[in-house]
Amino acid sequence: MQQGRYGHRHTIGIYRRELIQAGCSGLLGLGLSSVGATPAQAAALPQARTFGRAKAVIIVFLTGGASHLDTFDPKPEAPAEVRGDFQAIGTRVPGIRVGEHLPQLAQRMQHLALVRSMAHKNNGHLPATHWVLTGKAIPGIPEDLGVDRIRSRSDWPSYGSALHYFRPRADGVPSAVNLPTYLQEPPLLWPGQYAGCLGARHDPWQITDDPNRPEFRVENLSLPAGFAVERLEARRSLLDAVNARQDQLAALSETETLSNRQQTAFTLLTSGRFGNAFRVDREPTSVRDRYGRHMFGQSLLLARRLVEAGVPIVQANMGIVQTWDTHVDNWKVLKNRLLPPLDQGVSALLDDLEQRGMLDDTLVIVTGEFGRTPKVSTLAGQTLPGRDHWAQVFTSAFAGAGVRGGQVIGASDAQGGFPATEAFSPDDLGATVYHLLGIDPASEVHDQENRLLRLNTGEVIQPLFA
C-alpha cells in the first residue's frame, strides 16, 4: 500500500502539505504495527518532551459547528454583514480578543491556545464530524463532497476506540465514554463516534442521560444501537445496580453464559471506581453551581469525575445533534442559549482541573466540526439571519497537557473566510491527540479483515507546545 504527499495551492495562495489517503474505499485497512513511538522516534520530534504527556483527553464538542466569528475569532473591524451583532472584548492576555459572550473564558485565556487556522474541505455535518473526531476523512467520500453518510463499520475509529485497540484494559474502567447523548437524528447516526472498522469490542461507552436532571441515573450505559448489551434489569439504573445489587450482579455473571461484551458490561457495572464517578450528587453544591446547573455544565463536571476515575478519553457533546447549527437567529440563540453555559462550564472545568493538579496532564479541546460563513445570510422562507456551514476556516481551542496557553496560532483573513497563515487540518488535530497520548500517529492497525493502514497521516500541531 503506497502513500505519498503532494503540494496544493489554496485559493488564497497558501501552500499546504496534504496527504494522499491510501485505501479509503470500502472497508478500511487498519492493524497493529506499534503501540507507540520508540524512544528514537519520540526523540526525533521537536516536541518530544510532550510525547505521552496526556493521561486524559476531554473533547468539548460543539455539535453543529459553532461560529468562529462570534466566539474565538471576532472581526470587529469587518463590515457589519461579516462582523455580526457581537462586540469583541479583551482577555487576560493583552492583544487577544474574543466574542463578548465569553467573558469567563476571556479571563482564563492564559490557559488557552486558539488555533484560528483550522480548515478542511467538507461542509456536511456527518462527514465533517467524522473527520474531526477521528483525524481522518470519512472513507469512500471525497474530502470536498458533503455527502451525509451515516455510521458504518467501514468508518475510521474514534480516538478512544484506537486507544482501546492499542491499550486494552480489563480493570472495570472503559477507555472512552461519550456523554450525555448520542449524536444522532433518527434514522441518521453520526459517523466518527465509534470504533468503525476496528469492531464493536472497541466502541466507546455511551451515556444517554442529562447529568443535570435531579433524577440522573445512568440507566442507559450501553453500546451503540445495533450492538447493545442486553439490559441486566429493565429500567434499572447503573447506580442502583452498583449500590444495591452488586452481589446479585456478581453472582449472575458467574452463573450465566455471557458474551465477551456482556462480561465487560458486568465488569463495568460492578466496578465501584467507575460507578461512583457518576455520583455527581456527591459533589459540593458550590462546585456544581460553579459548573452551572445545566446540561453543559454538569456534563463537564461528569467528564472531570470520569477522568479522575481513570477514563482516558471523554467526549462531552455540548448539545444534541446540530445544536450549534445557527442558520436562523444566530446571535439570539448564541447569546441566550449556547454561549453562557459553555462559557461557565468550560471555565469551571479549567479551574477545577488546575486546582486538582490535573490540567498538566489532561488535554482539553473545544471544537466543532467546522465554523460558520463569514457573511450573514437569511434562509429562504426565514426572516431572522444566521450563518451557514463553513469548513474553509474555523477555530479550535486547546488547553492543558503541555499546551502553552495565552497564545493564538494561525490566523484567518480579514473577513474570517480563509486561512491567512498555514492551515491545520483535523488530521493534524488527530496526530496531536495521539502524540500526547503516547501513540505514534504513524502506527498501523488491523481492521476486521486483517488489512493494514496507517492510523493517522497528519502532523502534530507543534506551535501548541512552543
User: Mean pLDDT across the stretch 178-200?
Assistant: 88
Confidence class of residue 322 from pLDDT cuts 50, 70 and 90? confident
Nearest to 57 by CA among 128, 165, 160, 155: 160
Does residue 382 sit within a domain?
Answer: yes
Greater confidence (230 vs 170) lies with 170
Assess if residue 209 is contained within a domain.
yes
Residue 73 lies in a domain: yes
pLDDT at 231: 38
Q: What is the mean pLDDT of the chain?
A: 83
User: In this structure, what CATH number is given to the domain that contains residue 160?
Assistant: 3.40.720.10
The residue assigned the cell 488546575 is 354
Rounded Cα–Cα distance for residues 442 and 34 (Å): 9
Q: What is the pLDDT of residues 216-235, one digit of tens each?
A: 877 545 444 443 333 333 33
CA distances from 181 to 11, 186, 237 (A): 38, 13, 16
Helix H or strand E segment including 238: helix 238-244
Amino acid letter, residue 104: Q
Within a domain: 254: no
> Other C-beta atoms within 10 Å of 185: how many?
15
Q: Is residue 307 part of a domain?
A: yes
Query: Strand runs (DSSP E) across 119-216, as ranges?
Result: 176-179, 184-185, 188-189, 205-206
User: What is the DSSP track for 340-381?
Assistant: HHHHHHHHHHHHHHHHTT-GGGEEEEEEES-EE-SS-B--TT
Give the amino acid at 67.
S
Looking at residue 262, what is its pLDDT? 55
- Which position has the higher pLDDT, 334 or 217? 334
pLDDT at 413: 98
Q: What's the rounded Cα separation, in Å, for the pair 300 and 256? A: 37
226 lies in some domain: no
* CB 84 within 8 Å of CB 70: yes
Q: What is the pLDDT of residue 453?
A: 83
DSSP H or E run through 22 = none
Beta strand extents in 100-242 (DSSP E only): 112-118, 176-179, 184-185, 188-189, 205-206
Distance set, CA 211 to CA 108, 201, 214, 235, 322 (Å) = 25, 26, 8, 17, 20
Q: Is the peptide bond before 187 cis (omega within 30 degrees of 0)?
A: yes
Q: What is the pLDDT of residue 145?
A: 66
pLDDT of residue 26: 31
- Domain that residue 438 falls in: 5-215+285-465
Count the Cβ atoms, other than its own, within 10 Å of residue 397.
23
Q: Report the number of distinct structural domains present in the chain.
A: 1
> Does residue 129 lie in a domain region?
yes
Q: Label residue 147 by pLDDT band (50, 70, 90).
A: low
Cell matching residue 59: 473533547
Give residue 24's pLDDT band: very low, low, confident or very high (50, 70, 90): very low
SS3 388: coil
Is the pTM above the cut of 0.95?
no
With contact defined as beta carbons under 8 Å apart, do 309 and 274 qualify? yes
| Range in 190-199, 305-314, 329-338, 434-443 with the lowest mean pLDDT | 190-199
130 has a pLDDT exceeding 50: yes
- 236 burial level (CB within 10 Å; 0-12, 13-18, 19+): middle
Measure the CA–CA gap between 116 and 75, rounded to whole angstroms.
12
How large is the average pLDDT for residues 49-73?
97
Whole-number pLDDT of residue 36: 46
Question: Is 355 a member of any domain?
Answer: yes
Q: Over the stretch 394-403, which tens digit does the pLDDT of each residue have?
A: 999 999 999 9
Q: And the C-alpha cell for 287?
A: 462546585
